[in-house]
Amino acid sequence: MAFSLRLLLESKGAAELNLGDDFENDTCLSNAEVAIILDKQKVNYIEQKKMFTSMFKKTQSYVLEQKTQWPTKPLLSSFVIHQLEEFEIASLSNLNPEEVEEAVALIPSLPKHFTDHEIEEMLSLISRLTAQIFH
* SS3 state of residue 82: coil
d(CA 69, CA 30): 9
d(CA 101, CA 49): 48
Flag whether 75 is in a domain.
Answer: yes
The whole domain housing 105 covers 69-134
Flag whether 117 is in a domain.
Answer: yes
Local confidence pLDDT in tens for the 135 residues of the chain: 444 444 444 555 666 667 777 777 788 888 878 888 899 999 999 999 999 999 999 999 988 877 655 556 667 777 777 788 888 888 888 888 999 999 999 999 999 889 999 999 989 888 887 776 655
Flag whether 37 is in a domain.
Answer: no
Flag whether 21 is in a domain.
Answer: no
Number of domains in the chain: 1
Q: Do residues 16 and 112 make contact, with C-beta atoms less than 8 angstroms apart?
A: yes
pTM of the full predicted structure? 0.65
Q: Do residues 110 and 104 make contact, with C-beta atoms less than 8 angstroms apart?
A: yes
Flag whether 127 is in a domain.
Answer: yes
- Closest C-alpha among 57, 12, 20 to residue 38: 57
